[in-house]
Structure 1
Amino acid sequence: MADLFHECGIAAVYHLPSDTPSPLAPPQGPDQISRLIPRLLLDMQNRGQLAAGMTTYNESRSQLLKTFKEVGGVTEVFHLNQQQLYQRIMEQNRGPAAIGHVRYATCGKDDRNYAQPFERHHIERAKWFSFGFNGQLANYRELRDEILAQPDFHLSRDTDTEILMHLISRERSGDNRPPISELLRRLRAKLDGAYNIVYLSAAGEMFAARDPLGIRPLCYAIEGPLFAAASESVALANLGFSEKNIRSLAPGHAIIIENGRLSIERFAEASRTAHCFFEWIYFANVASVLDDRSVYLVRSRLGEELAAQERLVPDEDTIVVPVPDTAKAAADAMAYQLNVPCLEGLFRNRYVGRTFIEGGNRADKAKMKYTPVPEVLEGKRVILVEDTIVRSTTMQTLVKQLRERGGAKEVHVRVACPPIVAPCYYGIDMSTVDELFAPKFMNGQMRLTDEMEQEMAVVLEADSLRYLPVEAISRSLSMQAGALCQACVDSEYPTAHGQRLYQLTGVSSDGNGVDTSRVFDRPELAARS
């Protein structure tokens, strides 16, 4: 709801050679382990709804790697509601190893050519590979320029995923035969940003790797001969893996399968981690556990933080209303602490596209997407709890709807997040600085004042507005602030190229946003900065 684009989700499965099939494998046998990919992707549909796909490996067919992908949601792409067609797709793409991807575009066009996984054909098995990528390379421009500086080289897509494909190809060109661990070490030396990768080759090699800062989450599980990895733990749990066997992959580590054997290896070291805090407060499925922190419990603690700083004295007409769906846990916890009812005064129409995915008039789409309930709201002092505010278009519409259609007598907006003050260069498609709501009122300051919040409330046509302070994030996660990436709320970027991009695209001396298209030389990337 918060006008933020989701990033992507990745998945991998591998049935290692064994005389004993895994009890989690499909009843058709280990060669049908690829059937697990649509199930994994479906549980991560929250991470991307524009395209989905998978690549399978099967040494018993001439087409050792096969990639099936299309624009659309997982149900549409794999025809999950059409059993005959779905079964045909699964049979044509069966194999004991597979990788999968759900996509939202942080860059590139919305067509099949940008859907992942990306497959690169070659006559040599080890050089014929496919991979899926979750993240964003902050040094995209430099890598692109380096490639295009060679006259015989060409890039056909405007995406950092293709850059990554060229880098992998180059490391395995000619007589180069580096083992996967060495390949990852070489890539690490070139990449700046967030990059979780699942990789599958026609030689039956696989790896699932997490960048050294651990910006994006990556979980895995091993039970008997079956290995699986996914961006979120809920996908593995719903597949049937025991909770005790589901772990977060440590930053800078990779799970590598070569010659039918699995190992976990460290390919990079870092002096710190930089876990994206937005994964817990907004992106991830509420049932997931990321880096040993429950998404649900973190959101509940954020609600407790809201309650602790609340100045409004509740009366018999006061109710708490969450904005569906990601703010519900915070709203429930806040209401419990304040001893007031938490009621669903807004309902979401799940068949209307997300306002931040579709273009056009956001206010009109917000009206279609959320329906206020007068029977709940009439004559009430509403504490409206939201996870975050980016541009404010949707929030302005909601406040107006609560008053006009719902009959609320007061609307007090509470945000379970600090104000967004800077763009993201690591995989979240946020606005440019001049499009963000909060910086217009903060005049370059990083600390909110009561006067600033009241000015914002006036613009939203709310009776009051309160954000959480930045310190509440680390408290709610029980994690040191230095272990998190909070750049969008404190403008402190954890990588050199992230810092450089902010200096180039941040707020200028006159308080206006810089034209980001000049930084990337590509207008379509200005929107993602």
Structure 2
Amino acid sequence: MSDAIKHECGIALIRLLKPLSYYQEKYGTPFYGINKLYLLMEKQHNRGQDGAGIATIKFDVKPGNRYISRYRAMGSTAVADIFEYVQKKFASVQKAFPEESKDTQWLKDNVSFTGEVLLGHLRYGTHGKNSIESCHPFLRQNNWMSRNLVVAGNFNMTNVDELLQQLYELGQHPKEKADTVTVLEKIGHFLDDENQDLFDQFKKEGHSNIEISSLIAKNIDVTKILKRSAKTWDGGYTIAGIFGHGDAFVMRDPAGIRPAFYYQDEEILVVASERPVIQTAFNIPIGAVKEIKPGHALIAKKDGTVSQEMFRQPVEQRSCSFERIYFSRGSDADIYQERKELGRLLVPQVLESVKNNIKNTVFSFIPNTAEVSYYGLMDGINTYVRDFQKDTLLNRSEKISDEELDEILSIKPRFEKLNVKDAKLRTFITQDADRTDMVQHVYDTTYGIVKDHEDTIVAI
């Protein structure tokens, strides 16, 4: 990618594959889906401290009733704020209607955020405006159910100008110059096209308008829409979307730059940016979580059919190194080993830079996300010291004195915690002009460990 890092966000999508009554009977709550969405988002809090949002869509709602619910919030407590808002809604309904609220159909008819498809997003705003309008999910509304579109994603389009020009040539007038707008409008445009094509087809066959709405929802070709939408996209992206009638999708760029994982059983389909959060939220082994293939979209039709379809020819995989080294959760099995290996690979260069002077070198790490790589560095340094001691002792021709033996065996790397993070301050990557001054105060130094003008600090 030729552009600077702009978006490193997190997504979570849940598709309930059973009626709400099933979860009420099995788990004792009709709010199983929203509770799991909260867990998925809170566990991905590392992916977004600037804002968050959720949206849900209900199936088979009678005309005149809302079926799309959305709520967004700003700030580092956005996830908690959103679900507090939702929980208060649920609590007030249960208090006012104690008997009715035991009926899952009544809840679905009368309470928001009780849909079968749920989408969550965490925003890490390193570019553009930090405002509520910048928080996903984005909503494209229409009076025809199957033309409604909800979109959220972790993406960075590198050819925004080109994509905007294509929208202009279609006669559209986007309200701002941003990749979020181009993605929403691109998918929305081809969703409209698909709707119109199907409407014309079924009208010719003599169906009534009411019948046609239902037929369109059943026959929409999601893969076709995504193929046409993403034809000229350039960049890294994982984009999740829901059509108003209930079809849902998560699409991943052809180079696999952005991550996307999913799990499916007979009860649920879940997609997230991080593998370990799915494992934790659903208490499942690593092998049960699959990766969405690059250039493919995981599509869940309203009838419950789930498939993975190719929308762009995959190319050589180029996973974002920033995601894997810094941004992703270190509890992922592969991420953990990669970060340890990173530390081990740095050992020769580190030893060369300190002229192999272990005695006067203090090793540490900063920030906390560097800790796993630090363990790899420790392993490598310890191996070097052990090999040095072994070679020194085995290759000496003359007898070694007790003092010399003690000196060789006393060589021990100095691994210390030199920085302590103040929990009240966070090191966001931000656009604020005063970031440099603020970052100086986020960490406190541990005093009395490093000897001035004598020791060298190596911090990973």
TM-score, normalising length: structure 2 = 0.75
Question: Do structure 1's residue 333 and structure 2's residue 376 form an aligned pair?
Answer: yes
| Residue identity opposite 1:181 in structure 2 | T
Partner of 1:280: 324
Q: Distance in 1 between matches of 2:68 and 2:165?
A: 31
Partner of 2:72: 69
Q: Which runs of 5+ in 2 are unaligned?
A: 94-106, 199-219, 383-412
Q: Single out whichever of 215-224 and 335-344 deviates more from structure 2.
A: 335-344
Partner of 2:123: 103
- 1:125-167 per-position Cα deviation (integer Å, ceiling 9, x unaligned): 21112010211111110111222345x5222233211111111
Partner of 2:59: 59
Q: Distance in 1 between matches of 2:126 and 2:332?
A: 23
**Does the C-alpha gap of structure 1 residues 410 and 4 become closer, same or farther in structure 2, counting only changes over 3 Å?**
farther
Partner of 1:321: 364
Partner of 1:122: 142
Q: Distance in 1 between matches of 2:55 and 2:129?
A: 21
Residue 190 of structure 1: which of 213, 223, 232 is its match?
232
Q: Distance in 1 between matches of 2:374 and 2:434?
A: 28
Residue 112 of structure 2: which of 84, 89, 92 is its match?
92
Q: Single out whichever of 314-323 and 366-375 deviates more from structure 2.
A: 314-323
- 1:372-416 per-position Cα deviation (integer Å, ceiling 9, x unaligned): 1114x232xxxxxxxxxxxxxxxxxxxxxxxxxxx684344465x
Q: Distance in 1 between matches of 2:358 and 2:122?
A: 46
Partner of 1:296: 336
How much does 1:267 deviate?
Answer: 2.1
Question: Do structure 1's residue 410 and structure 2's residue 455 form an aligned pair?
Answer: yes
Partner of 2:16: 15
Aligned-partner SS, 2:441: helix
Aligned-partner SS, 1:327: helix
| Residue identity opposite 2:159 in structure 1 | N
Question: Do structure 1's residue 361 and structure 2's residue 434 form an aligned pair?
Answer: yes
How much does 1:355 deviate?
Answer: 4.7
Q: Contact conserved, 1:355 with 1:365, CA < 8 A, in 2?
A: no
**Does the C-alpha gap of structure 1 residues 181 and 241 become closer, same or farther in structure 2, counting only changes over 3 Å?**
farther
**Does the C-alpha gap of structure 1 residues 129 and 32 become closer, same or farther in structure 2, counting only changes over 3 Å?**
farther
Q: Distance in 2 between matches of 1:197 and 1:44?
A: 16
Partner of 1:113: 133
Partner of 2:183: 164
**Does the C-alpha gap of structure 1 residues 353 and 81 become closer, same or farther in structure 2, counting only changes over 3 Å?**
farther
Partner of 1:270: 314
Q: Distance in 2 between matches of 1:204 and 1:235?
A: 25
Q: Distance in 2 between matches of 1:254 and 1:171?
A: 16
| Residue identity opposite 2:276 in structure 1 | V
Partner of 2:346: 306
Partner of 1:216: 258
Aligned-partner SS, 1:208: strand
| Residue identity opposite 1:321 in structure 2 | S
How much does 1:332 deviate?
Answer: 2.0
- 1:61-81 per-position Cα deviation (integer Å, ceiling 9, x unaligned): 521111111212344432559
**Does the C-alpha gap of structure 1 residues 51 and 367 become closer, same or farther in structure 2, counting only changes over 3 Å?**
same
Count residues in correspondence. 379
**Does the C-alpha gap of structure 1 residues 316 and 108 become closer, same or farther in structure 2, counting only changes over 3 Å?**
closer
Q: Contact conserved, 1:24 with 1:240, CA < 8 A, in 2?
A: no
How much does 1:298 deviate?
Answer: 0.7
Q: Distance in 1 between matches of 2:160 and 2:372?
A: 37
Instruction: Mark the structure with the bigger radius of gyration.
Output: 2
Residue 450 of structure 2: which of 370, 378, 389 is its match?
378
- 1:23-52 per-position Cα deviation (integer Å, ceiling 9, x unaligned): 9986313x6413322221111121221110
Q: Distance in 2 between matches of 1:234 and 1:23?
A: 26
- 1:460-487 per-position Cα deviation (integer Å, ceiling 9, x unaligned): xxxxxxxxxxxxxxxxxxxxxxxxxxxx
Q: Single out whichever of 101-110 and 297-306 deviates more from structure 2.
A: 101-110
Q: Distance in 2 between matches of 1:206 and 1:94?
A: 16
Partner of 1:132: 152
Mapping of 1:460-475 within 5 angstroms? Answer: none
Aligned-partner SS, 2:444: strand
Q: Distance in 2 between matches of 1:84 and 1:50?
A: 23
Aligned-partner SS, 2:368: coil
Aligned-partner SS, 1:357: coil
- 1:209-265 per-position Cα deviation (integer Å, ceiling 9, x unaligned): 111111100011112221100011122112024122112111111111112221222
Q: Distance in 2 between matches of 1:115 and 1:5?
A: 14
Q: Distance in 2 between matches of 1:50 and 1:241?
A: 28
Q: Distance in 1 between matches of 2:26 and 2:140?
A: 28
Aligned-partner SS, 1:176: helix
Larger % of helix: which? Answer: 2
Q: Contact conserved, 1:52 with 1:69, CA < 8 A, in 2?
A: yes
Mapping of 1:336-355 within 5 angstroms? Answer: 336-339=379-382, 340-355=413-428
Q: Distance in 2 between matches of 1:214 and 1:283?
A: 16
Mapping of 1:169-184 within 5 angstroms? Answer: 169-174=188-193, 175-177=196-198, 178-184=220-226
Cα RMSD of the aligned pairs, angstroms, is 2.9
Residue 144 of structure 1: which of 164, 179, 182 is its match?
164
- 1:427-478 per-position Cα deviation (integer Å, ceiling 9, x unaligned): xxxxxxxxxxxxxxxxxxxxxxxxxxxxxxxxxxxxxxxxxxxxxxxxxxxx
Q: Distance in 2 between matches of 1:363 and 1:93?
A: 41
Q: Distance in 2 between matches of 1:88 and 1:220?
A: 34
Q: Distance in 1 between matches of 2:322 and 2:182?
A: 26
TM-score, normalising length: structure 1 = 0.66
| Residue identity opposite 1:176 in structure 2 | D
Q: Distance in 2 between matches of 1:53 and 1:271?
A: 32
Q: Contact conserved, 2:58 with 2:116, CA < 8 A, in 1?
A: yes
**Does the C-alpha gap of structure 1 residues 352 and 92 become closer, same or farther in structure 2, counting only changes over 3 Å?**
same
Q: Distance in 2 between matches of 1:27 and 1:344?
A: 46
Residue 78 of structure 1: which of 78, 82, 102 is its match?
82
Q: Distance in 1 between matches of 2:277 and 2:24?
A: 17
Q: Which runs of 5+ in 1 are unaligned?
A: 380-406, 416-529
Partner of 1:507: none
- 1:292-318 per-position Cα deviation (integer Å, ceiling 9, x unaligned): xx1111111111111133223244443
| Residue identity opposite 2:309 in structure 1 | E
Q: Distance in 1 between matches of 2:178 and 2:450?
A: 49
**Percentage of pairs with the same residue:** 22
